[in-house]
Structure 1
Amino acid sequence: MNTRIMVLALLSAMMIAYPLSAAGQEEGAGYLFGSKVISGDGEGRPLSPFPVVPDFAFVDAGVNGVFDLGDPVYLNMNPQDGMVSEGDIRLSTAFSRPGQMVRLGDRDLGYRLIRFGTSGFQPAELRYYDVNGDRSYGLEDPVYLDFNPGQVTPGDLRITGYLSYQPGSLVLDSDVDSGKQTRTLPGTLSFYNANGNVDSLGGAIFDRGDIVFIDTQFPFNAVTVNDVRLSA
């Protein structure tokens, strides 16, 4: 069986195991992937920076040298390894529910990751659609991983939901948000150290149970209203 058939077979099996209707819901989790922090929703909890900034990458499931609708997208926590590894976060619905952390023994472990913005592949930026046109990011504004920065285009990944579209879904040409203008999302990636474990230098350790946030509001390094959860 060639590589293309093996990857597509794995993709089909995992889509059956993790249907879109369960998007973002990790077993036992209190929060959903793509949900925004609202008032009374744990704001004020400390957020820790990553010692190495994660990047956005994908598995070329079709082995065709391009990013297309069947390719799963990840937040690669160790950009130097170039593969799906323990601790990476799945962002799309292709291989499983978005927001899940990759664990030892998972079937996508070890697949080659291609970093967006390298080797001729399109860049990936976190951007938002300014629904009410006030030129300010708000709770009502959907967030995208935008592969054609400046406009929602087919293939862009919805980080938050919009209307009936689920977090983790990819934009299609016929979708109502296709063609909408996008603006740069302020902030950075950080995490809530749920179990409080630290390394020998006192730095927070990211591991299972910790929640990744897009930290969008001042004061940074703390959970605030409008921050977005990237793991569940």
Structure 2
Amino acid sequence: MAATRPAGRRRPGRRAHGDGHRQTIHPAIIGTLQRDPDGGWWRVVTALLVQSSGWFQTVFNLAALIVVAPVAARTLGNLRALAVFLVAGVAAQVVSAAGWSPHGGGDSVAICGLVGALAVGYGLRGTRRELRLASLAIPAAAGVLCLLTNNHGIGLAVGCVLGVPLASRISSATGQASAPNPASATDPASATDPASATDPASAIDPASATDPASATDPASATDPASAGSLRERGR
């Protein structure tokens, strides 16, 4: 007869399903900082600092942040990008703690906010039509995720809303990126035209500068008739 394990006991070395996620350096920090309806209000902010789903979430979110954050900072400005990150992230954490996903943490919802702001801003003021049409997929994805009560939809939706007033900023950033025209900046015809810069006709004409007829003509210098005419003029 197989031995039965007492109720409420777990096999040594295993963790309960609810606390099985670890932070890389100090696993206990997750329980302290993740969102929790029974914890302090500040957890909706600190939940952005921990990745509660282990290595996969940590690596994936870090890679996404490395890709998206520099683009957002360059396009929106450092402070605006940080504001979008925090507002979208905290909003998603609040909705999650209210019932969508009461426990957990991660900054992917904040990264979604940056993506939403960039997409809507470019969709409104972008220069390439095909990219503007493609950016419409982001607000659509936000709606679908919200219907599925996925907290990433909140991050995308808040970012999309914030992207509307920031559209002019995105337009000016893309305009500056397309302003320098290498063809016009290095065009010899618009800068220094070798033909006009070294053209003998426009600079120093060797023919006129060293022409014996226009400089010192031996025939005119020793011609008695021309010498006499000079004396007559002198009188």
Relative to the length of structure 2, the TM-score reads 0.22
Higher RCO (Cα < 8 Å, 6 or more apart): 1
Q: Which has the higher strand share?
A: 1
Relative to the length of structure 1, the TM-score reads 0.22
Which structure has the greater CA radius of gyration?
2
